[in-house]
Structure 1
Amino acid sequence: MQRTPSPAPTKHHLLDTPAGRTHAVEQGSGPLVLLLHGFPETWHSWRHQLPALAAAGYRAVAIDVRGYGRSSRPAGSDHYRMTELVADAAAVVRALGEREAVVVGHDWGATIAAHCALLRPDVFRAVGMLGVPYAPPGGPRPSEVFAGMGGEEEFYVSYFQEPGRAEREIEPDVRGWLTGFYAALSADTMPGPDAPDPHFVTRAGGTLRERFPAGRRPAWLDDAQLDAYAQEFERTGLEGALNRYRAMDRDWEDLAGHAGEPIRRPALFVAGAEDASVGWLKDAIDAFPTTLPELRGNHLLDGCGHWVQQERPEETNEILTEWLAGLSG
C-alpha cells in the first residue's frame, strides 16, 4: 500500500533584520517564496498556502511584518516607511541563507511585495499581489487623496492616520472589532449595495465599528482563526500595525525618484470581484500593461471579498502554484 507523504514540518524562526527581529514561519524546501500579510492580520493568514506551496516543492516562509505578532515593534511611524519594510524583507531572505526569492503579499503586504520587486529586483525575482494592485509612486500626496475619498464623511485611511484615534476604538474590544472588520470585507457578510451607510467611512465624531455588519461572522472565520488574530493584537496592541498608514506621506517623499516606474519582474494579481479595493483602484488595474509589463496572470474571483487567500484558499493555491511553476519556463 502506498502511503500519503507526511506534510512538511513547520518551523518558527526569529531572524535578525533592520526591524530588530522578524518572526518567520517556514514549511517545505526548494525555491524560496516569501509571504507578506496585510492589516489586521499576521503570518497566520497564510496558513492554507504554507502546506500547499511546500507540497508543490517550494520553501514557503510567512512572516509577521514589523509591528505585528512576534516581530519587533519599533516606536514611531517613521520606522514603518516602505523603504524600511522592503529592507526587512530583503534581510529575511539573507537570514534564511538564500540569495533570491519570489515575494507574494496580500493587502498592505501586496504593496510591500510590489515595492520589494521595484526597489530590490536583485533579490526579488517575481511578485504576486493579492487584493491590492501595484500603483507606481508619484502623484498627489496620499493624505490629500484619502481626505477627498469620503465625501462629506471621513474615509477609513484618514481615520487610521490620526495617532491614537483608532487604537481607542479597537483596543477595548479587539475580538469584537476584528470580527466586524473581517465581516465588513468578506463576500458572505459584507453590507450589500443597498446598505444605507458605507462601512468604510465614519460620520463626524463617529467610529468605523458602528457601520460594521452586526452579529455576522464570515464562514472562513471560526473561533480558532479569530483567536489566532485576537490574542496577538490583545497582546501587542494596534499601534505598530496602524503606523503603516501613518507613514504614507513619508513614502511619497522617499520614493519620489521612482515616480511612475514600472515593475520589470514577472507579476501576478489576484483579487476578489466583490472587494471594494478593486473599484477604488480600478485605474491602477487598467494601467497594468504599462506598470506591470511582465504580468503573467490577472484573476478576479467571483463571489470573493477582500480576504482572498482565506475566503478562497484552494483556488488561490492553484493560481499561485501554476504561476510559480511557469516562472521557470
Structure 2
Amino acid sequence: MSQPTDTPAPPTDEAVHRLVDVPGGRIHLVEQGSGPLVLMVHGFPESWYSWRHQLPALAAAGFRAVAIDVRGYGRSSKPRDVDAYRMLAHVSDNVGVVRALGEETATIVGHDWGSPIASNSALLRPDVFTAAALLSVPYAPRGGGRPTELFAQFGGAAEFYMSYFQAPGRAESEIEPDVRGWLAGFYAALSGDTAPSGGDGSLFFVPPGARLRDGFPGDVRPAWLTETDLDVYAEEFERSGLAGGLNRYRNIDRDWEDLAAWDGALLTQPSLFIGGERDASTAWLADAIKAFPATLPGLVSSHIIEGCGHWIQQERADEVNRLLVDWLTTVHRKA
C-alpha cells in the first residue's frame, strides 16, 4: 500500500493539471483523488484526455488517479532526436513521475502503446511498479527477430502500418495537413461500432502508392467520440504535431536491442488484461493472450468486452471502470 506523501493530492472532486520535472524533461499530467497512486499511460494518437472517464471513477473509489501526456504529446517535453523515444526513456519518465509526486510505488495502467510502456515499466522497475493493467495490447515477452525485418514480411505487396510509420516525415505529411479529419477517420477505423470489415485489421496494410487514410471508413463518427472530444484531440496535435507519437514506432528495433537482457522475461506482478472483441489486436495477438498463464503468472483476471473495438476505456468507460476498480481493490487489499 502506498504511504503518505509530501505532495498533496487534490480533492476527490477536483482534477488538477501540473507539469513535473523528470530526468528527460517535463511531463504534463492530470491528477484526481487521494490514496494509492495509479499511473495511466495513453497510446497513439491520444493524450491524458483518453483517461477522462477513469480519473473521477478511480478517485471516487479511493485512489490517486494520474493520467500523463507521454513524452512527445500534449504539454510534455518533445525531444528532437528520434532515439529519445526509445522504451527505456518512457520507463525513466514513468519512474520520474512517481518520484515527482512524492511516491515510492504505483500501480501502472496502459492502453495501446501505453500497454507495452506499462508492462516494460513493471518489468524493468518492479521496485516502483507493483501491479500492471494492460488494455487492448496484451503482454508478449521480447523475442524473435528484429521487428522491422519481421514486419517487412507481412501483407505481401501491401505495407504493414508499422513499416509505413518508420521514415520520419512520411506519415506526418499525410496527417498534418488535416489533423482533425485524419484523427476522426483513424478513431472510426478502430472503433467497435464503425470499424470497416468488422475490425479485421485490413486497415493496417497499405497498398503500394496508397496512404493509410485511404482505408478509413466514410464520414462516420463513433458513438463515444463527441465533437468536443475530437476538438480536444485535434487542438493538441495541431499544436504539438505527430512526430513525437510516431517516433515511438521508429524505436522498435532499438527497443529490441535495449531489452535483450529481458528476452522471454515473465511479468510477475499482479496484472489485469482487458481487450475488445472487435479490436484487430485481440485477433492478431490471440497467441499472446493464450500464453498468459505462462507469461503473466500474477494475472488476476482477463476480459474480452463483446462488441468493443480498440479505444476501450472510451468506448466502454463504465465497464472498464468497474473492471479496473474491482482489480485495484483486490490488489491493494492483498498488499
TM-score band by shorter chain is: over 0.9
Q: How many angstroms apart in 2 are the aligned matches of 1:35 and 1:292?
A: 20
TM-score, normalised to structure 2, is 0.94
Q: How many angstroms apart in 1 are the aligned matches of 2:123 and 2:130?
A: 10
Q: 1:151 offset after TM fit, Å? A: 2.2
Task: Check whether the contact 2:54–2:317 (CA below 8 A) recurs between aligned residues.
Answer: yes
Matched, 1:290 2:294: yes
Q: Report which stretch shifted further, 235-244 or 136-145.
A: 136-145
What residue in structure 1 maps to residue 256 of structure 2?
252
RMSD of the alignment, in Å? 1.3
Q: 1:193 offset after TM fit, Å? A: 4.5
Matched, 1:158 2:176: no
The match for 1:10 among 10, 15, 38 is 15
The count of residues paired between Structure 1 and Structure 2 equals: 323
The match for 2:55 among 50, 54, 60 is 50
Q: How many angstroms apart in 2 are the aligned matches of 1:148 and 1:53?
A: 42
What residue in structure 2 maps to residue 220 of structure 1?
224
Matched, 1:27 2:32: yes
What residue in structure 2 maps to residue 235 of structure 1?
239
Gaps of 5+ in 1: 1-5
Q: 1:194 offset after TM fit, Å? A: 10
TM-score, normalised to structure 1, is 0.96
The match for 2:149 among 144, 151, 154 is 144
The match for 1:68 among 70, 73, 77 is 73
Q: 1:280 offset after TM fit, Å? A: 1.2
What residue in structure 2 maps to residue 320 of structure 1?
324
Q: How does 1:68-107 map to 2 (within 5 A)?
A: 68-107=73-112
Task: Check whether the contact 1:19–1:73 (CA below 8 A) recurs between aligned residues.
Answer: no
Q: How does 1:258-269 map to 2 (within 5 A)?
A: 258-269=262-273
Q: How does 1:167-186 map to 2 (within 5 A)?
A: 167-186=172-191
What residue in structure 2 maps to residue 3 of structure 1?
none
Q: How many angstroms apart in 1 are the aligned matches of 2:264 and 2:117?
A: 16
Q: 1:18 offset after TM fit, Å? A: 2.6
Task: Check whether the contact 1:18–1:84 (CA below 8 A) recurs between aligned residues.
Answer: no
Q: Which amino acid aligns with 2:204?
A: F
The match for 1:307 among 273, 287, 311 is 311
Q: How many angstroms apart in 2 are the aligned matches of 1:110 and 1:97?
A: 24
Q: How many angstroms apart in 1 are the aligned matches of 2:24 and 2:46?
A: 18
* SS at 1:192 equivalent: helix
What residue in structure 2 maps to residue 201 of structure 1?
205
Task: Check whether the contact 1:24–1:64 (CA below 8 A) recurs between aligned residues.
Answer: yes
* SS at 2:88 equivalent: helix
Task: Check whether the contact 1:104–1:113 (CA below 8 A) recurs between aligned residues.
Answer: yes
Task: Check whether the contact 2:198–2:278 (CA below 8 A) recurs between aligned residues.
Answer: no
Q: 1:290 offset after TM fit, Å? A: 1.1
Q: 1:66 offset after TM fit, Å? A: 0.3
Q: 1:149 offset after TM fit, Å? A: 2.0
User: Which segments of structure 1 move beyond 3 Å, counting only runs of 4 or more?
Assistant: none
Q: 1:214 offset after TM fit, Å? A: 1.1
Q: How many angstroms apart in 1 are the aligned matches of 2:151 and 2:285?
A: 12
* SS at 2:202 equivalent: coil
Q: How many angstroms apart in 2 are the aligned matches of 1:194 and 1:62?
A: 28
